[in-house]
Amino acid sequence: MILTLTPNPSVDRTVALDGELSRGQVHRVASVTSQAGGKGVNISRAAVSADIPSIAVVPAAKDDPFVLELLGAGIDCRPVQPAGDVRVNLTITEPDGTTTKLNSPGAAVLPLHLELMAQAVLVRASSADWTVLAGSLPAGAPAGFYADLVRRLHEVGGRVAVDTSEAPLQALVDALSHSAPDLMKPNGEELASFTGADADELESDPAATAAAARQLVDRGVGAVLATLGGNGAVLVTSEGAWHASPPPTTVVSTVGAGDSSLFGYLLGDIRGLPAPERLALAVAYGSAAAGLPGTTIPQPSQVRPDLVGVTAFGGTA
């Protein structure tokens, strides 16, 4: 079972244009889609589509359409008391795959709301193969919320994966001595933000990415899955490091591709696959998601790990 926490969920509204976006101009819209989303929610969707049980903890009212949509999709959604309405995020996609995101902050939370979310996760973590803490934090939450929750989760047992950015990511890195997760999934820009590396170099140079990710593993992180967009992904563990090149993909929308990559890795782990095959499944899921509109999660039949090339870095078995 995969347990997910999305502290700052969103209604993801995707507007597809039939031409290039131009500031200050009137555009014709080809289509508009809306879906209950957020990083953890996306991972729970992917799990259900792959017949992996998943529980999604979100701050929302029990009768909120957001919750009802997830329940209708077969996701075991466990809502906790929210600070306000679920926010709305807007994504604008262009025919060439260029994506523009406008994310709203969400309602400001109080310590009570944060503790309700934490408790909802802590009481279920010991029965989960993985607990995933994913996405941004709502306004009012301390940057160290994830780092503190990782420490508390390790006390009750179970493995923890974290996918976040900006201040919460930096706070987690600062607390690795006592809050190192079992898996982190930064992208190149995020990895550069706290390792001192150049973001453009990491995005284009898998070896440099592996060296930067190694810093986290050396500080106690179990594994680092660094996604590099069109350049695939790098996996670093205590046993070695690998780079996976994605299959040819016509990019439609990159929104949610990273979430699908993370799920692919977790699925490979649950299946008992070795590290290179976990990485291949992660990249296959991310590539399949990038070829679909909006935040659509790929079905297992659309995922082709056999088309992903995996290369070990020197010294890796």
Element (H, E) at 90: strand 87-93
Angle at the Cα of 259 from the Cα atoms of 69 and 102, rounded to 5 degrees: 75
Asked whether the beta carbons of 282 and 211 are under 8 A apart, the reply is: no
- For residue 274, the SS3 value is coil
Q: How far apart are CA 40 and CA 46, in angstroms?
A: 10
| 259 in active site | yes
Please give the sequence-ordered ranges of beta strands (E in DSSP) within 164-295, or none if there are none.
183-184, 223-227, 233-237, 241-245
Give the number of C-alpha atoms closer than 13 A to the C-alpha of residue 73, restricted to the C-beta side: 26
Length, in residues, of the chain: 317
Asked whether the beta carbons of 5 and 47 are under 8 A apart, the reply is: no
> Token pair 């009481």 is at which residue?
123
C-alpha pair distances (Å), 222 with each of 2, 3, 131: 18, 18, 14
Task: Give the relative orientation of helices 257-270 and 39-49 as an angle to the nearest 10 degrees.
Answer: 50
Element (H, E) at 80: strand 76-80
Asked whether the beta carbons of 52 and 32 are under 8 A apart, the reply is: no
Q: Which of 18, 259, 269, 306 is catalytic?
A: 259
Q: How far apart are CA 298 and CA 305, in angstroms?
A: 13
Q: How far apart are CA 163 and CA 225, in angstroms?
A: 10
Helix spans in 56-205 (H): 65-72, 111-122, 145-156, 166-174, 176-179, 188-195, 199-204
Active-site positions? Answer: 259
